[in-house]
Chain A
């Protein structure tokens, strides 16, 4: 039986040891190690092997040292996939950020009932799974049935092959912009809503015009959020995969249109898992470098 005792104030029986924080961290650490660190380590391990065959039958994976890395730096298909995504990012990210910022500013300034409607409308594309978005756009891009082309031909122009191998990168950029602009807009809009209104009041009393308000108060205060959006966009761009992959059956979309489609094909089509692991690691390093460079660059520009 449990005997009730009078309440006695007491000091903890066990002094928190050095291990206690680790104990509390362990659920996270175990999962993080198991599902994040371990696969990365395994990919690193895998990338050191190459396939060797003698006659027919299954290939043997033998230790190849840095052979896969040497191959990657000589693989023009892979290098041009990096170039593709670089071109993609340089064009698509600024456009998307500009539009997202403009939309966020407009939404923030407009204080009426339509605000909610527009906010939802702009955000909606993000809620559509990228595979479905790809299929929808695939139809809109089809050479003869595309409504865009029907308008163009009605105006006397020639049909545009949106899925042609020269243009398809930009057709994909368009889908990505369509999907992510609204999402980024919400991030920026939320940041704008957090700006204390007394700042605006003070500025107005000082005679600031709406444009000055935007330029000198809103945009500077928006900078941390813009930076966040930028970094996420760079990382997101490096990972573009679903859109080009969904468009592949509709026309000739090059294997190496993005680094991710290329390494997926190396693994799943050519069965070269170790080389794909190598490419994945290089891609991760490349992404990390890009993000780091931008962080560095923007931090130096203004104090954050």
Chain B
């Protein structure tokens, strides 16, 4: 017969195998509602339409329709529009943690605690539950994937300049200076992503920084918190001396420089290495390694932050919330779905058990292969378990996200000091929050 059919057969066979092994390890999911149910799912996970086949097999009366919207701001615009319009929203949608509060705020998300979602809290890495249930009672989403922070570095470049992978930020700063001197400024130890607030926030998060907090009936915003100031001043010092670069993340410029060994290390979320492998292809393949992010004081316990990751929300418009919750739990806790989402989309699981699945450690495949066969997933698992639990976002975070870029631009031009930039970020964002009608200080 023709090849594609063989491939499909193999795929469904492997799906079946996954399904078989999954049943034993998976937590007990809630009962499926009776009767024929169709769920509309919006997501940007590649291959999700195939993953759900295993779900439909296990729950024959539930039909899942997946629409891949590709992700990015446009996806949120579409979801926001349907929630605002009161019609047209899917049953389940993928939303990044930082954006969950702004959707909660529309009143368009179902509170899953009323359907028993809190019974599943124990299966997730603790900090992820804090992201979907800020007050510890209402649950607005089921955690899906995560982006705990680790350091990625070019082993060959570090060795060339006689530098050991730094374990503290003091060592990192010294390494950056050494590399600058020895390479004549051609190779930078690191790179500051000046247009990605969550990258910066993850570094401050690792230091225990808090940016938003609910306080009774109002909000407290502290974008200029002590950790943020510490982290930004630290980086600005290295930027000014030219010891680290400021190339835009995810641009051809960055991949070119990183591939050419001109960026010796960086701090990337768990989904980052997959992007490195995909974007740099054979340039520098096998030469990268991952390690815990440097700590402010030498210690054996790893404290980390998180950048990105997403969750599955159930909309208030859904007519089948019970089935939608069941699907969201299955999608993010079953070994079948976690494995498929890792293989197809590089989704680093929020499920605690999922962090140790063997499929994440496959040396013959990327990202591990790109990292010289290193078990980088266990580095990231350590990072995830070391992420500070009490970290909240505010509904107006999308504004803060963009305003950060403005302040960093002014700082890099020398018009603001790091402290002034953070103060301006705090001031302008707070003014906007108030304009949006929030009680915030």
Do they bind each other? yes
| A interface residues with partner B (beta carbon < 8 Å) | 50-53, 55-59, 71, 139, 142-145, 163, 165, 249-252, 254-255, 265, 268-273
**A270-B398 CB under 8 A given contacts A55-B217, A252-B409:** yes
B417 contacts partner chain A, Cβ-Cβ < 8 Å: no
Expressed in whole angstroms, the Cα–Cα distance for A53 and B439 within the complex equals 8
- Which one of B99-107, B177-185, B265-273, B299-307 is at the interface? B99-107
- Whether the pair B250, A249 counts as a contact (CB closer than 8 A) is yes
Contact: B106 with A58, CB < 8 Å?
yes
Any A CB within 8 A of the CB of B405: yes
Tell me which residues across on chain A come within 8 A of B250, comparing CB atoms: 249
Q: Are A272 and B436 in contact, with the CB atoms below 8 A?
A: yes
When each residue 199-224 of chain B gets 1 if its CB lies under 8 Å from chain A and 0 otherwise, what string results? Answer: 00000000000000010010000000
**Out of B107, B194, B438, which one reaches A252, CB within 8 Å?**
B194
**A269-B84 in contact given A144-B257, A251-B248, A252-B409 (Cβ < 8 Å):** no
Question: Which residues from chain B contact A249 at a C-beta distance below 8 Å?
Answer: 250-251
- 10 closest A-B pairs by beta carbon, nearest first, are A58-B107, A51-B437, A268-B77, A53-B437, A55-B217, A252-B409, A269-B398, A144-B253, A252-B405, A142-B253
Cβ of A251: which chain B residues have Cβ within 8 Å of it? 195, 248
Residues of B within 8 A of A265 (CB): 402
CB <8 Å contact, A252 and B406:
yes
User: How far is it, in angstroms, between the C-alpha of A254 and the C-alpha of B106 when the chains are bound?
Assistant: 26
Q: Besides A59-B436, A270-B432, A271-B106, 6 other CB < 8 A contacts?
A: A55-B217, A57-B105, A58-B106, A143-B253, A268-B77, A271-B436
Residue ID in chain A nearest B316 by CB atoms = A58
Residues of A within 8 A of B14 (CB): none
Are B77 and A250 in contact (CB-based, < 8 A)?
A: no
Query: A255–B435 contact, CB under 8 A?
Result: no
B252 x A52 contact (CB < 8 A): no
- Cross-chain contact of A57 among B107, B195, B439 (Cβ < 8 A): B107
Q: Point out residues on B near A: beta carbons under 8 Å.
A: 73, 76-77, 80, 84, 102, 105-108, 194-195, 214, 217, 247-248, 250-253, 256-257, 396, 398-399, 402-403, 405-406, 408-409, 432, 435-439
Q: List 12 A-B contacts (CB under 8 A).
A: A55-B439, A56-B217, A58-B107, A143-B253, A144-B257, A145-B256, A165-B409, A252-B406, A255-B403, A268-B77, A269-B399, A272-B436
Instruction: Kindly list chain B residues whose C-beta atoms are within 8 Å of the C-beta of A254.
Output: 406
Interface of A is mostly: loop
Q: Which residue from chain A places its CB closest to the CB of B194 in the assembled complex?
A: A252
Q: Which residue of B lies closest to A265 (CB)?
A: B402
Q: Are A139 and B102 in contact (CB under 8 A)?
A: no
Pick from B84, B107, B194: contact of A273, CB below 8 A. Answer: B84
Which residues of A lie under 8 Å from residue B399 when comparing CB positions? 269-270
Q: Chain A: which residue is nearest B262 at the CB level?
A: A144
Q: Are the C-beta atoms of A250 and B107 separated by less than 8 Å?
A: no
Cβ–Cβ < 8 Å partners of B252 in chain A: 139, 142, 145
- A144 near B248 with CB under 8 A, answer no
Instruction: State how many angstroms separate the Cβ of A204 from the closest Cβ of chain B.
Output: 55
Q: Are B253 and A145 in contact (CB under 8 A)?
A: yes
When the two chains form their complex, are residues A270 and B436 in contact, meaning their CB atoms are under 8 A apart? yes
How far, in angstroms, from A114 to B422 measured CA to CA in the complex? 59
What is the CA–CA distance of A250 and B194 in the complex, to the nearest angstrom?
11
**B contact residues around A269 at 8 Å (CB):** 73, 398-399, 402
In the complex, what residues of A have CB within 8 A of residue B84's CB?
A: 271, 273
How distant is the Cα of A50 from the Cα of B399 in the complex, in angstroms? 18
Rounded to whole angstroms, the CA-CA distance of A255 and B432 in the bound complex is 14
Instruction: Tell me, rounded to whole Å, the shortest Cβ–Cβ distance linking B242 to chain A.
Output: 14
Q: Which residue of B lies closest to A275 (CB)?
A: B435
- Kindly report which residue of chain A lies nearest to residue B135, judged by CB atoms: A56
Chain B residues, CB < 8 A from A139: 252
Closest to A54 in B: B217
CB-CB < 8 A to B248: which residues of A? Answer: 163, 250-251
B194 touches A59 (CB 8 A): no
Which among A50, A52, A57, A269 has the greatest number of chain B C-beta atoms within 10 A?
Answer: A269
Could you tell me the distance in whole angstroms from the C-beta of B135 to the nearest C-beta in chain A?
9
CB distance from A1 to the nearest CB of B (A): 54
Cβ of B428 to closest chain A Cβ, rounded Å: 9
Q: In the assembled complex, how far is the CB of residue B62 from the closest CB belonging to chain A, in whole angstroms?
A: 29
Is B251 within 8 A of A142, CB to CB? yes
Query: Which residues of chain A are near B257, meaning CB under 8 Å?
Result: 144
A56-B217, A59-B437, A250-B248 known; A255 vs B107 contact (CB < 8 Å): no
Give Cα A155–Cα B26 distance, bound, in whole angstroms.
Answer: 64
Closest chain-B Cβ to A15's Cβ sits at a distance in Å of 48
What is the minimal beta-carbon distance from B438 to any residue of chain A, in angstroms? 6
A268 and B437 contact, CB distance less than 8 A = no
A51 to B434, CA, bound (A): 10
Q: Which residue of A lies closest to B74 (CB)?
A: A268
Q: How far is the CB of A226 from chain B (nearest CB, A)?
A: 38
CB distance from A282 to the nearest CB of B (A): 17
| Other-chain contact of A271, B73, B102, B214, B405 (Cβ < 8 Å) | B102
Q: How far is the CA of A37 from the CA of B396 in the complex (A)?
A: 33
Q: B105 to A58, Cβ gap below 8 A?
A: yes
Distance (whole angstroms) from the CB of A237 to the closest CB of chain B: 24
A50–B107 Cα distance when bound, in Å, is 17
A51→B253 contact, CB < 8 A = no
CA distance A58 to B194 in the complex (A): 32
Complex Cα distance, B436 from A265, in Å, reads: 13
When chains A and B are docked, how far (Å) is the Cα of A249 from the Cα of B107? 30
Write out the residue numbers on chain A whose beta carbons fall within 8 Å of the beta carbon of B396: 270
Contacts of A143 in B (CB 8 A): 247, 253
Docked-complex contact A252 and B73, CB < 8 angstroms? no
Q: A18 to nearest B CB, angstroms?
A: 40
A217-B439 Cα distance, complex, nearest whole Å: 67
Distance from B75 Cβ to chain A, minimum over Cβ atoms (Å):
11
B406 cross-chain contacts in A, Cβ below 8 A:
252, 254-255
A273 to chain B, nearest CB (A): 7
Closest to A255 in B: B402
- B424 to chain A minimum Cβ distance, whole angstroms, is 13
Q: Which residues of B contact A268 (CB under 8 A)?
A: 73, 76-77, 80
Could you tell me if A59 and B398 are in contact, using CB atoms closer than 8 angstroms?
Answer: no
Task: Give the docked Cα–Cα distance between A264 and B109 (Å).
Answer: 23
| Residues on B with beta carbons closer than 8 Å to the beta carbon of A58 | 105-108
Q: For the complex, give the distance between the alpha carbons of A56 and B257 in Å.
A: 46
A106 → chain B closest CB, angstroms: 36
Closest residue of B by beta carbon distance from A143 = B253
Known: A143-B253, A252-B195, A252-B405. A53 touches B438 (CB 8 A): yes
Q: State the Cβ distance, A163 to closest chain B Cβ, in Å.
A: 8
| Distance of A162 from chain B, by nearest CB (Å) | 12
